[in-house]
Amino acid sequence: MRDFIATLPKAELHVHHVGSASPRIVSELAERHPGTVPSDPERLRDFFAFRDFAHFVEVYLAVVDLVRTPADVRYLTYEIGRELAIGQAVRYAELTCTPYTSVLPGHHDRGMPIEAYTEAIEDARVSAERDFGIVLRWIYDIPGEAGLPAADATVEFALRHRPEGLIGFGLGGPEIGVPREQFKPHFDAARAAGLRSVPHAGETTGPETIWASIRELGAERIGHGTSAAQDPELLAYLAEHRIPLEVCPSSNVATRAVASLEEHPLPRFVDAGVVVTINSDDPPMFGTTLNREYEIAADLLALDEAGVAELARAAVRASFAPDDVTGRILQEIDDHAVDQSDLVAD
């Protein structure tokens, strides 16, 4: 199963741009900008040992602080593409980017023009597709903890400085004390411009946050949605309206949203008929990979190789990839499943 998953073509729908920085990438950035983040990969493991969600946000923002120049953005993005394609067999990924924390002065009193940020991610996107065969697309998200000023800036970045690869609009960060409803005008504007609505919801709060994301923000997919398991009516709604959940098991345990993998609600989602996709969120920070998340899902759901292949198909179908890309990856998954079956038969 491990070998099958490692070479299985995949789509990654819930993975954060800065949060995808591996120890190798963070070490390089820390060498460029010495400070609070250790450059020694061994020490980085201790640095990434999270106590709770608030501590995770603190560590995440410390890594954000290392991405200070357009060259840093370009390096980070291109190297993420390399690691996803070569290490995880990812053919298509929607990276959640938070330009507000890079473009405007915030925790590090430095910033870069949005035009330079956009040019850097786009150059990396085109280069990664050329060099590694991976298709990258962007979701710009509002850092919820920064409130309405961040929302105003993010929607302006998305609409007035829209990069070619931008396909979605999201909302991340802490949920407690950050009601989804206040961001309705921003999501309305983004959706009117053709961007897809993909907010985080129900990770550290209850089902009401998911309901608000659907009703107020027009959510087409839900980031995490862990607490949906508490509300049978919500599960039925998600299933009926085919609103996928972007499930990230190891992340949920690391941030204490779920007590343990054994208690993860993924099986309840599947039993209720909800569309689920398997994702890695901030994989190096949580000591995981997309391959590992598929292994966990296979264990929780008692799947064979055919079942795992169907999970991969579900992510492709739930993506916002162009039809030609979707069709190509689905065919690759089918071919992979057939090839593995032939090997077993032989």
Summarize pLDDT for 60-71 with one digit per residue, the tens: 788 888 898 999
Q: 201: domain range?
A: 2-345
Residue 283 has pLDDT above 50, yes or no: yes
* pLDDT at site 342: 61
Q: Check: CB of residue 111 under 8 Å from CB of residue 66.
A: no
Catalytic residue among 203, 220, 246, 295: 203
Q: 144-148, long-range: CB within 8 Å, 24+ apart, which pairs?
A: 144/171, 144/172, 144/173, 144/174, 144/175, 144/178, 144/183, 145/57, 145/173, 145/174, 145/178, 146/100, 146/106, 146/173, 147/178, 148/182, 148/183
Please, what is the Cα angle at 94 between 93 and 98, to 5 degrees?
A: 135
Catalytic status, residue 119: no
Q: Among residues 75, 105, 96, 99, which one has the least CA distance to residue 17?
A: 96
Q: What is the CATH number of the domain that holds 91?
A: 3.20.20.140
Quote the CA–CA distance of 98 and 334 in Å, as a whole number: 34
pLDDT in tens, 20-72: 998 889 889 999 998 888 888 778 777 777 666 677 777 778 888 889 899 99
pLDDT in tens, 233-247: 999 999 999 999 999
Give how far the C-alpha of residue 146 lies from the chain's centroid of Cα atoms, to the nearest Å.
20
- The dihedrals phi and psi of 319, each to the nearest 5 degrees, come to -75, 170
**Band (123; pLDDT cuts 50, 70, 90):** very high
Name the 3-class secondary structure at 136. Answer: strand
* pLDDT at site 104: 63
> What is the count of structural domains for the chain?
1
Name the 3-class secondary structure at 96. Answer: strand
